[in-house]
Amino acid sequence: MRILPQPPGVPDSRSPGRFLWWLALREWPSLLWSGTALGGYMVCSVLTSAALGTALDSGAVRGDTGALLAWFGVLAALALAAVALIPVAHRAEAFNWYACAYRTIQVVTNHAVRMGPTLTRRLPSGEVVAVGTEDIDRIGDFYESAGLILSTLVSLAAVSVLMLTSHATFGLVVLVAVPLIVGGMAPVLRLFSRRQEYQRDRQAELTTLASDLVAGLRVLRGVGGERTVEHRYRASSQRVRSAAVRVGWADAALQALREFYPGLLLVGIVWYGARLALVGEITVGQLVAFYGYTGTLAASVRHLMRSASMLVSARVAAGRVVRVLRLEHDHPDPERPEPEPTGPCDLYDPGSGVTVAALRTTGVVCADPADATAIAERLGRYRDEEGADAALVERGTGRRVRLRDLPLARVRQRVLVAANDAHLFSGTLREELSPDGGLPDERLAEVVRAAHAEDVVRQSAAGLDAPLTERGREYSGGQQQRLRLARALALDPEVLVLVEPASAVDAHSEAAVAARLPAERAGRTTALVTTSPLMLDHTDHVQYVEEGRLVAEGTHRELLATCDRYTATVLRAVAPEGTP
């Protein structure tokens, strides 16, 4: 049994067809195994018809017991072989579905993680949700039935050979009729593709509207906008329903053709074979065999037509997947990355003049909250500004390397910005604090204590194994904030930028966090972007920013004594006019 998920590889996102081909190449052994098993099953069906026809023309019908037993043994062996191939083929089909569907969701999820906030700025959230809920099903369904394509070709070849050797006209009918039948589906397939793509677009729009509605429901109620949004959602839902009905009509037409064309072929061959049997051109056994061949042929053609319609659906779904995979990050990696700085490094923001000193805890106080957001985003390279790019500065050599000149993945590993809008994921507290499960309980207890989150762990008898719902909704805002802080401390990055890490907790908890944080981050570089006097009193150095520029620095107590503007900012007082 292969373990999923596996390393998905690098997808080919140049076009939907190339993406589907990339998936096929990644899973070709299983696809080949599925096609071989199904092909063997179809060949057994064809050989059963041939054996039955030959038995009728042999001594088995003239009372020859030995011949009767021999042909019974042949037919029983073919039946047993077909029965044995069924579970093998079904297992391969099921594996193909899971492997291709989950490989698709792996590459989409990995790309979404790499894109971060860029994804929601470039693409509606409903589009991404639809990929994970609908498109992977369409792609999985196609590869589940992909083995039928190979088996159909094998059975068509076997039937053609047997018919040509028995009667040339029958063989030619097969060789000519099957391509004509498949080609006759082309106009309906194109219509089905267009309608399904339109319906898929409307479904994504509806999903986006629904997610926006849920996220902003409280605000809508506050301004009395529920009725307006209700009308919008109702109209959008009706458009999706109408589009789905049109897709259903096209799909119904395809199913009708899948039954009509093979049935017409079956009637024609049986009628023609019966006429030949009446005039003695073929034997009764050959007529029976031809009837069996035609039944297998009709089933094969239906399978081929069904696979064609599934391919259309898969191409539409792959188009959505490719659209996500082709999105480029707002902060792309440099073509020629600079060598990474080594040893302890200061983190410098030229846009404001703020320097986060290596191996120390630095407080960053901004008179304007917008400046605090901008500085934090530049320090973590969530915002690129020409001429104001944050940089790592080597201690000793003074070599400065801009964050934009390093691979983004390396920046994320070295610099972590922990803001209050960070997402809490469902699972357990242990999984949230240590996603890879690599931290022992002793270390988890340390970060929980540093974040003053012991009460969160004690709230449940399960402790760290207590379930955590999406966004941690079972906890208060202060408890959620302390969980975010504990998670950031557990990651233990080289540089940690904390944005108002105790803004939602009570004074007692804030004082506990402020006292414990420096010890927890000893020997690491930490920036506290905050106006909390309790937090700032435990920093090594404080830098004060006004109108986007550094205007004063020193210890917290020094600034309180010398800078009235700083005092007004951290104590929420009004400074006299004209004071520094």
**pLDDT tens digits, one per residue of 276-315:** 778 777 777 777 887 787 778 777 777 877 888 888 888 8
Q: Tell me whether residue 576 is in a domain.
A: no
> How far apart are alpha carbons 132 and 142 in whole angstroms?
16
- Same structural domain for residues 371 and 306? no
393-423 core/surface letters (b: 16 or more CB in 10 A; e: else) = bbeeeeebbbbbbbebeebbebbbbbbeeee
Percent of the chain with pLDDT over 90: 31
pLDDT at position 421:
82
252 three-class SS:
helix
pLDDT at position 575:
41
Please give the residue range of the domain that contains residue 418. 345-422+491-571
CB 404 within 8 A of CB 384: yes
- Same structural domain for residues 185 and 262? yes
- Same structural domain for residues 55 and 165? yes
Per residue in 61-104, pLDDT tens? 566 677 778 878 888 898 899 889 889 888 888 888 988 888 89
- Same structural domain for residues 353 and 258? no
- Same structural domain for residues 127 and 271? yes
Q: What is the mean pLDDT of residues 450-462?
A: 91
pLDDT at position 478:
92
Return the structure tokens found at 79. Answer: 């039946």
pLDDT at position 573:
47
Establish how many alpha carbons lie within 13 A of residue 43's alpha carbon, considering only the half-sphere containing its beta carbon: 15
- Same structural domain for residues 520 and 391? yes
Q: Tell me whether residue 137 is in a domain.
A: yes
pLDDT at position 1:
45
- Same structural domain for residues 296 and 388? no
> How far apart are alpha carbons 141 and 367 in whole angstroms?
57
Query: Is residue 580 pLDDT above 70, yes or no?
Result: no
pLDDT band at 561 (very low <50, low <70, confident <90, very high): very high
Looking at 325, 359, 383, the residue that finishes a domain is 325
> How far apart are alpha carbons 8 and 2 in whole angstroms?
14
pLDDT at position 158:
83
> How far apart are alpha carbons 322 and 111 in whole angstroms?
11
Name the more confident of 225 and 439: 439
Q: What is the mean pLDDT of residues 361-373?
A: 95
- Same structural domain for residues 191 and 295? yes
> How far apart are alpha carbons 378 and 389 in whole angstroms?
7
> How far apart are alpha carbons 294 and 305 in whole angstroms?
16
pLDDT at position 351:
93
Q: Residue 418 belongs to what H/E stretch?
A: strand 415-418
pTM: 0.69
- Same structural domain for residues 92 and 169? yes
pLDDT at position 574:
41
Torsion sign (Cα): 210, 212, 213, 215: positive
Q: Tell me whether residue 448 is in a domain.
A: no
Tell me how many domains the chain contains.
2
Return the structure tokens found at 483. Answer: 């969980």
- Which of 200-204, 274-278, 288-292, 417-421 comes out lowest in average pLDDT? 200-204
Give the per-residue SS3 of 24-88: HHHCHHHHHHHHHHHHHHHHHHHHHHHHHHHHHHCHHHHCCHHHHHHHHHHHHHHHHHHHHHHHH
Looking at 325, 355, 388, the residue that finishes a domain is 325
Q: Which residue has the tokens 């762990």?
A: 457
- Same structural domain for residues 60 and 134? yes
pLDDT at position 253:
81
DSSP string, 356-379: E-TTSEEEEEESSHHHHHHHHHHH
Establish how many alpha carbons lie within 13 A of residue 28's alpha carbon, considering only the half-sphere containing its beta carbon: 4
Look up the CATH number of the domain holding residue 390: 3.40.50.300
Q: Is residue 440 classed exposed, middle or buried when 0-12, 13-18 and 19+ CB atoms within 10 A define those classes?
A: exposed
> How far apart are alpha carbons 42 and 151 in whole angstroms?
7
- Same structural domain for residues 321 and 350? no
Return the structure tokens found at 305. Answer: 């037509």
Q: Tell me whether residue 359 is in a domain.
A: yes
Q: Mean pLDDT for the chain?
A: 84
Beta-ladder partners of 117 = none
pLDDT at position 555:
96
**How do beta strands 427-428 and 467-468 pair?**
antiparallel
- Same structural domain for residues 259 and 402? no
Q: Tell me whether residue 122 is in a domain.
A: yes
pLDDT at position 576:
42
